[in-house]
Structure 1
């Protein structure tokens, strides 16, 4: 156990150093000058001397490694700095936007599960039937249509023509429906096809045939054996695609003016708000790492042979 903890600690340490440095470098290589944002040059008359003085005071003229080392030292002390635009602590800003992003992510996953599980299961149980044909056709269409285009279509239908649902902001359950439906539909197509293929593979296994020969009911075979056997590939793909889900949340938040971390970081990129951008990169990187760690641990539950193999390796 101690060895696993040490290994995970080293992995997360290297991961944090890697993503923060890459993000730090790319953000600072992007065009634009944060000194102009801090001085509000669009509203105030500022001399070039004032700009250069501020750049020197803020350390923008220092080498990249020096700037990163200074940021890393503050991060070790759990200090993410202050926003160049609002002057607020980055931690406070992220905590303010995180609930909206979590709501949207959870809502999207619920929509995805409600779509992918029934369609994928029925498609596998009734292979080559009309249900299977409709399910595969819908999944192909869903994969081909970009999430922002799907969102615009839903806004036009439910927000403009029918006027059933609000299309902007965050003010209760109704404001969450369209963004969640858009992202949930966009990501469910992959899991419908994956669950179908995993279930078909499960039903071809010998233990399924043996269960049928013993007279076990089909419903029990499905839920107790086939469905459980088919979940690991689905969970693996979810761990790999969590980055795409985060990117989808960002696009949807901008499209629906949903006040979450995604919209906030887009605004920060426009305004060259380096501290908030760096904090967002770190937070999302940790989310990806933790989700993938949970996926690795889940194999011990779905595959007892993995636990047995680890025990044999220790012995």
Structure 2
């Protein structure tokens, strides 16, 4: 396990170095001038001398590689810079918005687990029966309907018409329900069919037939052996699709006016707030790395054969 963590740590150092350079380059080459946004030239009369003075003060007149070098030195010291729009430290803004985004993410994952595990398991146990047909139809609908459109339907139904739940903001558990439900249902369709397929493959394995021959109960065979054996493919897809999940959180935060870092970075893109955009990209990259590392480590528990192979390799 120490070797895996060390290898992953070296990989993330290289990954962060590459992603910092690419994100810095793309953000700086994007259309728009943050200097004009800061000076608010659309509403105020600003001279060209003032524009050039601020550009020089912010270091925008230096070559891109020099700007990146200065920014990288600050980043190594965990200084992500100061937001152009608010004047607050970027790290402080991210730490303020991150709990809201994590709330929404965990809420969506909870909905996904509550929907995908029972429905996928029942579809595998009762293959080609009515519950399997229903899960197939729901999965197709879930994959075809965009999450933002589903969110608009929920806002219209549960907030505007029935007035059961609030449609925006973050003020208690009630404000988390609609966005979590929207995102959770949108991503659960993939995992219902994946879990069904993986369970069917597990139920046809030799160790399942051996368990039945030994007189084990179907309940123990399913949950203690088949279900555990079917989880690695599901967890693998989750690690790969985490980026899509984070992207979905951004869309849902904007739709429900949820004050997380997703909505924050959309506002930063409009205002050409370079430090905040780059800080967001790096934080998301670290989160993705941590989740993928946890996925890799979980294989040793879910699939003991990997541990046996590693022991044989190290001999």
Normalising by the smaller structure, the TM-score range is over 0.9
Counterpart in the other structure of 2:128: 128
Secondary structure of 2:313 counterpart:
helix
| TM-score (normalised: structure 1) | 0.98
1:118 aligns to 2:107 (yes or no): no
Secondary structure of 1:170 counterpart:
coil
- Residues 195-242 of structure 1: per-residue CA shift (max 9 Å, x gap): 000000001101111111221111100110000000000000000000
Higher mean C-alpha displacement, 50-59 vs 77-86: 50-59
Higher mean C-alpha displacement, 195-204 vs 31-40: 31-40
Structure 1: distance between partners of 2:182 and 2:167: 12
Higher mean C-alpha displacement, 152-161 vs 189-198: 152-161
- Equivalence map 1:101-180=2 (5 Å): 101-180=101-180
Structure 2: distance between partners of 1:2 and 1:245: 29
- Equivalence map 1:72-111=2 (5 Å): 72-111=72-111
Counterpart in the other structure of 1:313: 313
Post-superposition offset of 1:98: 0.7
1:32 aligns to 2:32 (yes or no): yes
Higher mean C-alpha displacement, 251-260 vs 203-212: 203-212
Post-superposition offset of 1:7: 2.3
| TM-score (normalised: structure 2) | 0.98
Post-superposition offset of 1:61: 2.1
Secondary structure of 1:83 counterpart:
coil
1:267 aligns to 2:247 (yes or no): no
Post-superposition offset of 1:3: 4.5
1:301 aligns to 2:289 (yes or no): no
Structure 2: distance between partners of 1:137 and 1:111: 18
Q: How many residues align?
A: 315
Counterpart in the other structure of 1:236: 236
Structure 2: distance between partners of 1:260 and 1:54: 30
Structure 2, unmatched stretches of 5+, are: none
> Superposition RMSD on alpha carbons, in Å?
1.1
